Amino acid sequence: MADDEIILEDLSDEELVQQMHDDLYDGLKEEIEDGTRILLERGWTPYDILTQALVEGMRIVGIDFRDGILFVPEVLLSANAMKAGMFILRPLLAETGAPKLGKMVIGTVKGDIHDIGKNLVGMMMEGAGFDVVDLGINNPVENYLEALEREQPDILGMSALLTTTMPYMKVVIDTMKEKGLRDDYVVLVGGAPLNEEFGKAVGADAYCRDAAVAVETAKDFMKRKHNQAAAG
Protein backbone atom coordinates (compact mmCIF):
# COMPACT_ATOMS: atom_id res chain seq x y z
CA MET A 1 0.00 0.00 0.00
CA ALA A 2 1.35 3.43 -0.95
CA ASP A 3 2.15 5.75 1.94
CA ASP A 4 -0.11 8.45 0.60
CA GLU A 5 -3.14 6.26 0.10
CA ILE A 6 -6.17 7.69 1.80
CA ILE A 7 -8.15 5.43 4.12
CA LEU A 8 -11.73 6.58 3.66
CA GLU A 9 -12.88 5.09 6.98
CA ASP A 10 -10.36 7.24 8.85
CA LEU A 11 -11.74 10.51 7.52
CA SER A 12 -14.21 12.67 9.42
CA ASP A 13 -17.61 13.14 7.77
CA GLU A 14 -16.60 16.53 6.44
CA GLU A 15 -13.29 15.25 5.06
CA LEU A 16 -15.00 12.23 3.53
CA VAL A 17 -17.55 14.38 1.68
CA GLN A 18 -14.69 16.57 0.43
CA GLN A 19 -12.78 13.47 -0.66
CA MET A 20 -15.85 12.19 -2.51
CA HIS A 21 -16.01 15.47 -4.45
CA ASP A 22 -12.38 14.88 -5.47
CA ASP A 23 -13.04 11.22 -6.32
CA LEU A 24 -16.06 12.15 -8.44
CA TYR A 25 -13.94 14.74 -10.22
CA ASP A 26 -11.39 12.03 -10.95
CA GLY A 27 -14.08 9.54 -11.97
CA LEU A 28 -13.17 6.96 -9.31
CA LYS A 29 -16.15 4.65 -9.24
CA GLU A 30 -15.15 2.23 -6.46
CA GLU A 31 -14.13 5.04 -4.11
CA ILE A 32 -17.53 6.66 -4.60
CA GLU A 33 -19.26 3.36 -3.79
CA ASP A 34 -17.12 2.97 -0.67
CA GLY A 35 -17.69 6.55 0.44
CA THR A 36 -21.45 6.21 -0.07
CA ARG A 37 -21.54 3.02 2.03
CA ILE A 38 -19.41 4.53 4.80
CA LEU A 39 -21.71 7.56 5.10
CA LEU A 40 -24.76 5.29 5.20
CA GLU A 41 -23.12 3.26 7.98
CA ARG A 42 -22.50 6.49 9.86
CA GLY A 43 -26.21 7.21 9.81
CA TRP A 44 -26.36 9.74 7.00
CA THR A 45 -29.70 9.87 5.19
CA PRO A 46 -29.62 8.82 1.54
CA TYR A 47 -30.88 12.26 0.58
CA ASP A 48 -28.04 14.05 2.40
CA ILE A 49 -25.45 11.80 0.76
CA LEU A 50 -27.06 12.44 -2.62
CA THR A 51 -27.15 16.22 -2.25
CA GLN A 52 -24.00 16.95 -0.24
CA ALA A 53 -21.58 14.36 -1.60
CA LEU A 54 -22.79 13.41 -5.08
CA VAL A 55 -24.82 16.33 -6.46
CA GLU A 56 -22.40 18.90 -5.07
CA GLY A 57 -19.48 16.95 -6.54
CA MET A 58 -21.16 16.83 -9.94
CA ARG A 59 -21.96 20.55 -9.70
CA ILE A 60 -18.21 21.23 -9.49
CA VAL A 61 -17.61 18.89 -12.44
CA GLY A 62 -20.36 20.71 -14.37
CA ILE A 63 -18.76 24.12 -13.80
CA ASP A 64 -15.36 22.95 -15.03
CA PHE A 65 -17.00 21.25 -18.01
CA ARG A 66 -18.79 24.49 -18.86
CA ASP A 67 -15.55 26.45 -18.55
CA GLY A 68 -13.61 24.07 -20.79
CA ILE A 69 -11.36 22.69 -18.03
CA LEU A 70 -12.89 19.22 -18.25
CA PHE A 71 -13.94 17.48 -21.46
CA VAL A 72 -16.61 14.94 -22.38
CA PRO A 73 -14.55 11.76 -21.69
CA GLU A 74 -13.66 13.00 -18.20
CA VAL A 75 -17.20 14.10 -17.44
CA LEU A 76 -18.50 10.70 -18.56
CA LEU A 77 -16.13 9.06 -16.08
CA SER A 78 -17.39 11.36 -13.32
CA ALA A 79 -20.99 10.68 -14.30
CA ASN A 80 -20.30 6.97 -14.26
CA ALA A 81 -18.86 7.18 -10.75
CA MET A 82 -21.90 9.21 -9.73
CA LYS A 83 -24.13 6.49 -11.19
CA ALA A 84 -22.42 3.88 -9.03
CA GLY A 85 -23.24 5.91 -5.92
CA MET A 86 -26.79 6.47 -7.17
CA PHE A 87 -27.20 2.73 -7.70
CA ILE A 88 -26.71 2.22 -3.95
CA LEU A 89 -28.89 5.16 -2.97
CA ARG A 90 -31.78 4.87 -5.39
CA PRO A 91 -33.72 2.06 -3.66
CA LEU A 92 -33.17 3.78 -0.29
CA LEU A 93 -34.32 7.13 -1.66
CA ALA A 94 -37.46 5.49 -3.02
CA GLU A 95 -38.23 4.07 0.44
CA THR A 96 -37.78 7.41 2.16
CA GLY A 97 -39.74 9.31 -0.48
CA ALA A 98 -36.95 11.87 -0.81
CA PRO A 99 -37.92 15.05 -2.61
CA LYS A 100 -37.25 15.04 -6.32
CA LEU A 101 -36.66 18.18 -8.32
CA GLY A 102 -38.75 16.87 -11.18
CA LYS A 103 -38.92 14.27 -13.90
CA MET A 104 -37.48 14.29 -17.39
CA VAL A 105 -38.02 12.11 -20.44
CA ILE A 106 -35.08 12.34 -22.84
CA GLY A 107 -34.25 10.75 -26.17
CA THR A 108 -32.41 11.26 -29.45
CA VAL A 109 -34.75 11.97 -32.37
CA LYS A 110 -35.68 9.68 -35.25
CA GLY A 111 -32.88 8.99 -37.74
CA ASP A 112 -30.16 9.90 -35.24
CA ILE A 113 -28.15 7.33 -33.35
CA HIS A 114 -25.84 9.63 -31.39
CA ASP A 115 -26.17 9.37 -27.66
CA ILE A 116 -23.07 10.63 -25.83
CA GLY A 117 -24.49 14.12 -25.35
CA LYS A 118 -27.88 12.76 -24.38
CA ASN A 119 -26.36 10.29 -21.92
CA LEU A 120 -24.32 13.08 -20.38
CA VAL A 121 -27.40 15.26 -19.93
CA GLY A 122 -29.30 12.32 -18.44
CA MET A 123 -26.54 11.54 -15.96
CA MET A 124 -26.04 15.17 -14.96
CA MET A 125 -29.79 15.65 -14.55
CA GLU A 126 -29.97 12.55 -12.40
CA GLY A 127 -27.00 13.88 -10.49
CA ALA A 128 -28.90 17.10 -9.84
CA GLY A 129 -31.83 15.20 -8.31
CA PHE A 130 -34.15 14.65 -11.28
CA ASP A 131 -35.82 11.38 -12.21
CA VAL A 132 -34.67 10.62 -15.74
CA VAL A 133 -36.33 8.27 -18.22
CA ASP A 134 -34.01 7.68 -21.18
CA LEU A 135 -35.72 6.59 -24.40
CA GLY A 136 -32.42 5.91 -26.17
CA ILE A 137 -31.80 6.76 -29.83
CA ASN A 138 -33.77 7.01 -33.08
CA ASN A 139 -37.14 7.93 -31.52
CA PRO A 140 -40.17 8.56 -33.72
CA VAL A 141 -42.81 10.96 -32.44
CA GLU A 142 -44.92 8.03 -31.13
CA ASN A 143 -42.18 7.08 -28.66
CA TYR A 144 -42.13 10.56 -27.17
CA LEU A 145 -45.92 10.76 -26.93
CA GLU A 146 -46.20 7.33 -25.31
CA ALA A 147 -43.49 8.22 -22.80
CA LEU A 148 -45.17 11.54 -21.92
CA GLU A 149 -48.44 9.75 -21.26
CA ARG A 150 -46.82 6.91 -19.34
CA GLU A 151 -44.30 8.87 -17.29
CA GLN A 152 -46.09 12.23 -16.84
CA PRO A 153 -42.76 14.09 -16.70
CA ASP A 154 -42.20 17.81 -16.21
CA ILE A 155 -39.64 18.06 -18.97
CA LEU A 156 -39.13 16.55 -22.41
CA GLY A 157 -35.56 16.62 -23.71
CA MET A 158 -34.66 15.94 -27.35
CA SER A 159 -31.20 15.74 -28.85
CA ALA A 160 -29.83 15.55 -32.39
CA LEU A 161 -26.30 15.56 -33.73
CA LEU A 162 -27.08 15.56 -37.44
CA THR A 163 -28.33 18.61 -39.31
CA THR A 164 -30.62 16.24 -41.23
CA THR A 165 -32.40 15.02 -38.08
CA MET A 166 -32.72 18.42 -36.37
CA PRO A 167 -36.03 19.30 -38.12
CA TYR A 168 -37.63 16.22 -36.59
CA MET A 169 -37.76 18.09 -33.28
CA LYS A 170 -40.32 20.41 -34.86
CA VAL A 171 -42.39 17.38 -35.94
CA VAL A 172 -42.54 16.23 -32.30
CA ILE A 173 -43.38 19.69 -30.95
CA ASP A 174 -46.01 20.34 -33.66
CA THR A 175 -47.63 16.98 -32.90
CA MET A 176 -47.73 17.90 -29.20
CA LYS A 177 -49.44 21.16 -30.15
CA GLU A 178 -52.01 19.36 -32.31
CA LYS A 179 -52.87 17.07 -29.41
CA GLY A 180 -53.11 19.99 -27.00
CA LEU A 181 -50.19 18.71 -24.92
CA ARG A 182 -47.55 21.31 -25.66
CA ASP A 183 -48.24 23.56 -22.69
CA ASP A 184 -48.10 20.70 -20.21
CA TYR A 185 -44.36 20.19 -20.60
CA VAL A 186 -41.12 22.11 -20.68
CA VAL A 187 -39.35 21.14 -23.92
CA LEU A 188 -35.55 21.40 -23.98
CA VAL A 189 -33.50 20.70 -27.10
CA GLY A 190 -29.78 20.23 -27.56
CA GLY A 191 -27.05 18.89 -29.81
CA ALA A 192 -23.94 20.19 -31.53
CA PRO A 193 -25.51 21.69 -34.69
CA LEU A 194 -28.35 23.45 -32.86
CA ASN A 195 -28.42 27.01 -31.62
CA GLU A 196 -30.75 29.39 -29.82
CA GLU A 197 -32.48 30.56 -33.00
CA PHE A 198 -33.22 26.99 -34.00
CA GLY A 199 -34.66 26.23 -30.56
CA LYS A 200 -37.02 29.21 -30.90
CA ALA A 201 -37.93 28.33 -34.50
CA VAL A 202 -39.07 24.81 -33.63
CA GLY A 203 -41.02 26.00 -30.60
CA ALA A 204 -38.87 24.60 -27.78
CA ASP A 205 -38.81 26.34 -24.40
CA ALA A 206 -35.03 26.48 -24.46
CA TYR A 207 -31.92 25.35 -26.30
CA CYS A 208 -29.19 23.97 -24.03
CA ARG A 209 -25.68 24.04 -25.46
CA ASP A 210 -24.33 21.44 -23.03
CA ALA A 211 -25.23 19.23 -20.10
CA ALA A 212 -24.35 21.83 -17.46
CA VAL A 213 -26.63 24.38 -19.12
CA ALA A 214 -29.38 21.77 -19.42
CA VAL A 215 -29.29 21.17 -15.66
CA GLU A 216 -29.37 24.90 -14.82
CA THR A 217 -32.19 25.52 -17.32
CA ALA A 218 -34.24 22.60 -16.00
CA LYS A 219 -33.79 23.81 -12.40
CA ASP A 220 -34.91 27.32 -13.39
CA PHE A 221 -38.05 26.03 -15.06
CA MET A 222 -38.89 23.84 -12.06
CA LYS A 223 -38.39 26.79 -9.71
CA ARG A 224 -40.77 28.89 -11.78
CA LYS A 225 -43.29 26.07 -11.87
CA HIS A 226 -43.20 25.72 -8.07
CA ASN A 227 -43.49 29.48 -7.61
CA GLN A 228 -46.49 29.61 -9.95
CA ALA A 229 -48.10 26.72 -8.10
CA ALA A 230 -47.51 28.48 -4.78
CA ALA A 231 -48.86 31.76 -6.15
CA GLY A 232 -51.82 30.06 -7.81
Per-residue pLDDT reduced to its tens digit, 44-84 = 999 899 889 998 998 899 889 888 999 888 988 998 999 89
Is residue 127 over pLDDT 80? no
Last residue of a domain, one of 99, 134, 159: 99
Count of domains forming the chain: 2
Output the pTM of the full model.
Answer: 0.77
Report how far Cα 20 is from the mean position of its chain's Cα atoms.
19
Look up the CATH number of the domain holding residue 114.
Answer: 3.40.50.280
Residues 6+ apart with CB under 8 A from 222: 101, 102, 154
* C-alpha of 23 from chain center: 19
Higher pLDDT, 203 or 92: 203
Last residue of a domain, one of 82, 99, 116: 99
**Bridge partners for 190 per DSSP:** 159
Q: Which pLDDT tens digit goes with each residue over 148-161? A: 999 999 999 999 99
User: Which of 68, 99, 130 represents a domain boundary (last residue)?
Assistant: 99
